Structures are given as structure tokens and as C-alpha cells.
Amino acid sequence: MNPDQNSNTGNVFGMIGLGTMGRSLLLNIADSGFAVAGYDKDTLKVDALKQEGAPYQVEGFASLPDFVNSLKKPRAIMMLVPAGPIVDSVVEEVLPLLDQGDILIDGGNSHFTDTTRRDTALEAKGFHFFGMGISGGEEGARRGPSMMPGGDIEAYEIVRPILEAVAARVNNEPCVTYIGPGAAGHFVKMVHNGIEYGLMQLIAETYEILRKGLQMDNASIHRLFAQWNEGRLQSYLLEITRDIFAFKEPGTESFLIDDIYDVARSKGTGKWTSQVAMDLELPVPTIDVAVAMRDLSKYKELRVKADALYTVEQPNRFATERRDKTLQYLEQAFYFSMITTYAQGMHLLAKASAAYGYQLQLDQIAKIWRGGCIIRAAFLEDIYTAYQQNKELPHLLLDPYIKGLVQETAPGMREVVAAAALSGVATPAFAATLSYFDNFRNGSMPSNLIQAQRDFFGAHTYEVIGREGIFVHSAWLPDALD
């Protein structure tokens, strides 16, 4: 086709970047009956698309002009390439081939500030652009992800039928909705990933208690996670963790989990969540600790030396003869921490919505997270209900029903954190979560002392009870003695 093609002909959706995610999502769209095209500089990836897409209306291109010319106008093109400068280079390369009114979608994990910059620049040039977070991994992309589009609502409405057709569905409702203006979509995906970091760290600490505190083997841990996943802890992350503890490489007798090096990597989205939370002066300590523990895991050599140097004299407080009771406490502790981790993330979304003008609807975000995404869990139904009933709910932990769940599980949380501390078993995310809760419910924190100290050494002033908003300074040092 040539650039003067009839606007009513051609493929209705294009994908730049045919790696695992891009190819899987494009095939998902084709599955739903849409004619699609994919482009990649790597001809092997183009060939893979053609082979897998043979039964569908799929075209693959290694020529960018040919790819662009194959698309129906206004063209709708998604980029699924690594975040950062690569996105900018793709935009720079494809823009001269487009017409004003065409749509560019960044479906990667871009930092929300980059999305804001691109949105402003492309709008000024007459192009539609929006950033869209996509969660669900390879399987989700192929079978139904959760998608978080934000930015140009006119552009979203054009591609909405396609996105709704391929999204995961819960109660026959698609797990995609317009998130808000600007970089709202990528911001929400970033917080999604921060919550993911927190939940993964909590599961890892649960594993640490099970193997070191209760001396349970992999098969027993597998059975426990399978049992928990049938109840209120049901979630995608617990589901895959269950399967990990049953997995052996073909032809081997050992569990693969025991052969994996204990150094955790990351792509930065958890760190971004912590950074922006600090910028907004809002605490998300469970996420912060999860990021910190991934960083600490990278210092393997130092950890091994310290392991040989220090010994823990305290007895193991996770008594194996009371295993059933301990496991009951641990289930409560995990549920308590899951609730609080989601609460921290939703609080951050509310604060960012006000600060950045994102107009976020927290009930709708919880709704689309119920299926397809990595943090999908049964508990998201409760979050959805809480914000449906009170769209102005300032914090999830203030919801009456959630309050009941927290009060029910708090005793187990305290038992687990105390036993871990006394046994020398590291549970930093559990401990940080409990401390967050105890200060959140603390109507009189010791922060008055901090303000007094700041004023003493730096004359930073303080507020006085009953005179809020009026800042005063005291002369803490007495006059020099005679």
C-alpha cells in the first residue's frame, strides 16, 4: 500500500516491538478478529509473528515505512519496547511517517514523567498519544491482560473496542478502563508494580519462616500455599508460588527453588514508587523495605561473611510442636500485611491524583486489577466494594468492613513479628507493615519531640496544640550563667 491508501482499508492496529510481550498481545488482538500488523528490526521476530499468526489476519514487517503504510487511518500504533531512550528513538523514527491525528501508544513500563513529556510534545505536533500500563506477563498478554490507559481520551475511545475485546474479564467485565489525563496510566502501573514488590517480599518472608522457623520442606510448603490459595489469600502471586515449590527440572530429583541464587534483580519500578511517595510525603514502608531487601540481596559476599561471623543465641520461638497454631498466626499475618500493602498503594494513588490532577477513580482501578494482572487477588473485590460505597474514602483502613478484617488478623501479625524477632529470623516487611499500622492508628505520635529537637538546634519552629497553623520558636538555651 502507499501513503495515499483509502482510510477505510488496511490493518486496524499496529505493534512496534515483537518481543514476547508485543507479539503475544498482537496475537491476542488478532484472536479477537482484528486485522493487525507488527514491526521489528529483528527479522527472526517478524518471522515468528508470521508463523504464529498464520491462522489470523496478521502481517509482519521488517520495514517501518511498509508497516506504517499497511495501517488504516487514523493509524493506531502501540510501542512495546524497553522504557527510556529507546522509546524516544522509536518515536523520532516513526513520527515522520505518520499523519496528524494518528495515535501512538506507549505500552511499556515508562516512568510517568517521561510519559508527561512525550504527551505534551506530541500533542503540540498534532498527534494523539497515551501511555498504557499493561500487567499480566506473557500469558496475560496472550490470553487477557489488565490494562491501564491514561492520557488522550479521544485516542483511547478510538481503540477502546480493541482493548476491551482483548482484556481479561471478571464477571464478564473487561479489565481495562480509562485511568485519567496525562501520565495517569503509567503512574497507576508504577504503583501496581510497587504493590507487587511488597507482596512478593511478604511471600518470601513467609517462606523464610516456614523453612527456618518451622523447618518445613518444599513439599510441605507447596501443600500449605495450595491450601491458602483456596481461601481468602487467593491470588496470582500465591498461585505461582505454590507451583514453584512443586517444580523439578525434567530428569532431576531436586527442587529447582533450591538451586536458584539468592540475589533478586529489578527493573526499577518499585524504586520509582518509593521515590515518588517520598516526594509526595506519603509513607509506603512495605514497598520501601521490599526495594531495600532486593538491594541487600545483591551483597552476597558480605552476607556470607557476616553469616559466618555472627550467631543467634536466642532459641527458635516458632515451636514445631505448636505448628498448627503457628501456621494459623502466619496466615493471619500475611492477610493483615496484604491488606495494609494494598492500602498503602491506594493511599498513594489518592495523593498523586490530587497532586497531579489525574482524577483517579480508585474503585475502577481496583476493578480492573481483579483479573489479568500480577497483583490480582480475591481481596481486590473488597477494595472495589469499599471505594464503590465511598468514593471519597480517604484511606482503605478506615473502611468499616476492612477494619473488621484488620482487627481479626492483628493478633496473629503480632505473634509472628514477635516470634521472628526473638528467633533471629528476618521479616523486615512484616515488621515495617505492623509499625506502619500501629502509627497509623496512633493519635499521638512522638513526633512532637522531633519538632522540639528541630527547633532547638535549627530554629525550625513548631506548632502548638490548639493553635494549629501558627508557628513559633523557643529560646531553648538559658542565658549564659554568671
| CATH number of the domain within which 377 lies | 1.10.1040.10
The one catalytic residue among 196, 205, 331, 415: 196
Residues 126 and 221 in one domain: no
Is 267 catalytic? The answer is: no
| Residue at 233 is within a domain | yes
Whether pLDDT at 314 is above 80: no
User: Is there a single domain that holds both residue 90 and residue 201?
Assistant: no
Q: Show which of 157, 182, 207 is a domain's final residue.
A: 182
**What is the greatest pairwise CA distance in the chain?**
97
Q: Which one is catalytic: 45, 72, 189, 367?
A: 189
In angstroms, rounded to a whole number, what is the distance separating the alpha carbons of residues 197 and 376? 13
Tell me, yes or no, if 189 is annotated catalytic: yes
Residue at which a domain ends, from 153, 182, 211? 182
Residues 198 and 296 in one domain: yes
pLDDT at 5 over 70: no
**83 and 19 Cβ atoms separated by less than 8 Å:** no
- pLDDT average, residue stretch 109-136: 94
pLDDT for the residue 315: 80
| Same-domain check for residues 356 and 478 | no
- Residue 8 in any domain: the answer is no
Please tell me the distance from the alpha carbon of residue 42 to that of residue 124, in angstroms, as a whole number: 32
Q: Note down the domain range covering 476.
A: 446-482
282 & 170 share domain: no
Between β-strands 103-106 and 76-79, what pairing exists: parallel, antiparallel or unpaired?
parallel
Smallest Cα–Cα separation from 40: which of 53, 23, 57, 58?
23
Say whether both 269 and 418 belong to one domain. yes
Question: Residues 385, 416: one domain?
Answer: yes
Q: What is the mean pLDDT of residues 176-188?
A: 97
Residue 245 resides in a domain: yes
The pTM (predicted TM-score) of the whole model is: 0.94
Based on the fold, state whether residues 289 and 422 are members of the same structural domain: yes
Whether residue 7 is contained in a domain is answered as no
Q: Are 429 and 202 in contact (CB under 8 A)?
A: yes
Residues 149 and 254 placed together within one structural domain of the fold: no
Instruction: Kindly report the three-state secondary structure assignment for every residue of 56-86.
Output: CCEEEECCHHHHHHCECCCCEEEECCCCCHH
Please tell me the predicted confidence (pLDDT) of residue 321. 67
Q: Are residues 162 and 290 in the same domain?
A: no
- Judged against a pLDDT cut of 90, whether residue 10 lies above it is answered with no
Q: Residue 358: helix, strand or coil by DSSP?
A: coil
Same domain flag for 270 and 175: no
Please indicate, yes or no, whether residues 406 and 478 belong to a single structural domain of this protein.
Answer: no
